[in-house]
A and B are shown apart, each in its own frame.
Chain A
Amino acid sequence: RKEVEQDPGPFNVPEGATVAFNCTYSNSASQSFFWYRQDCRKEPKLLMSVYSSGNEDGRFTAQLNRASQYISLLIRDSKLSDSATYLCVHNQGGKLIFGQGTELSVKP
């Protein structure tokens, strides 16, 4: 089993749509979780950290369910500029473990 598993993509959605990504992790000892965004042929950039209580940053909402070892990212009112690959990441002893990513394509 992979340490971090994400929804297979790609997700093709129209502008303004709400889209949700899911991620599961296998190591219950993982302490910190993040969503990164990676544009084509670029480095990953931190989108947001994920907290147990859930957190929101503008159109983005992240949730963590430790009991189910499950993380989610919700994007509301999607924009063309949201098109990218979204990576679910957890911190394991100082090392970042990346999921394979879910590709999002927002169409006009």
Chain B
Amino acid sequence: GAVVSQHPSRVICKSGTSVKIECRSLDFQATTMFWYRQFPKQSLMLMATSNEGSKATYEQGVEKDKFLINHASLTLSTLTVTSAHPEDSSFYICSAERTGLSSYNEQFFGPGTRLTVL
């Protein structure tokens, strides 16, 4: 299967700092990657769709100036949480879409990044 990595796996930071999370597709190229957020006991919520070489598409209610997404290559997307606050503490998961022969392009998930803002 396809492998997607995320770095870091865990980060603890002070309120007001910025945190960058990297998502890499290791053995395939991904034109499209997705960023999700999951709060405890809740489901994954799509934050934004990251498109290589163009601007990300954000879901309703997600601040694009706070969650900066860059997808500069076919194997790397980054999510930067700017001026993080305790309410941004969450489990951030990326996925990379691999195009296939079927009508559905499967998404492969990274292992997630647990962010704690003090």
Q: Do A and B come from one complex?
A: yes
Query: A72: shortest Cβ distance to chain B, in Å?
Result: 18
A43–B46 CB distance below 8 A: no
Q: Give the dominant DSSP class at B's interface.
A: strand
Bound Cα distance A44, B93 (Å): 9
Contacts of A94 in B (CB 8 A): 32, 49, 97, 105
A41-B91, A43-B93, A43-B112 given; A96·B42 CB < 8 A: no
Q: Of B49, B97, B111, which is within 8 A of A43 by CB?
A: B111
Q: Of B32, B44, B112, B114, which is within 8 A of A98 by CB?
A: B44
A41-B114, A42-B112, A98-B44 given; A32·B49 CB < 8 A: no
Q: Does B107 contact A (CB under 8 A)?
A: yes
A101–B43 CB distance below 8 A: yes
Q: Does B63 contact A (CB under 8 A)?
A: no
A95–B49 CB distance below 8 A: yes
A44–B105 CB distance below 8 A: no
Q: Of A31, A32, A41, A95, which is within 8 A of B46 by CB?
A: A95
7 contacts between A and B (CB under 8 A): A41-B112, A43-B112, A49-B104, A96-B44, A97-B46, A98-B43, A99-B43
Knowing that A95-B49, A98-B44 touch, tell me 18 more A-B residue pairs with CB under 8 angstroms: A41-B114, A42-B112, A43-B110, A43-B111, A43-B112, A44-B93, A44-B109, A45-B109, A49-B104, A87-B43, A94-B32, A94-B49, A94-B97, A96-B34, A96-B46, A96-B107, A97-B46, A98-B45
User: A-side interface residues toward B, CB under 8 Å?
Assistant: 31-32, 41-46, 49, 87, 91, 94-101
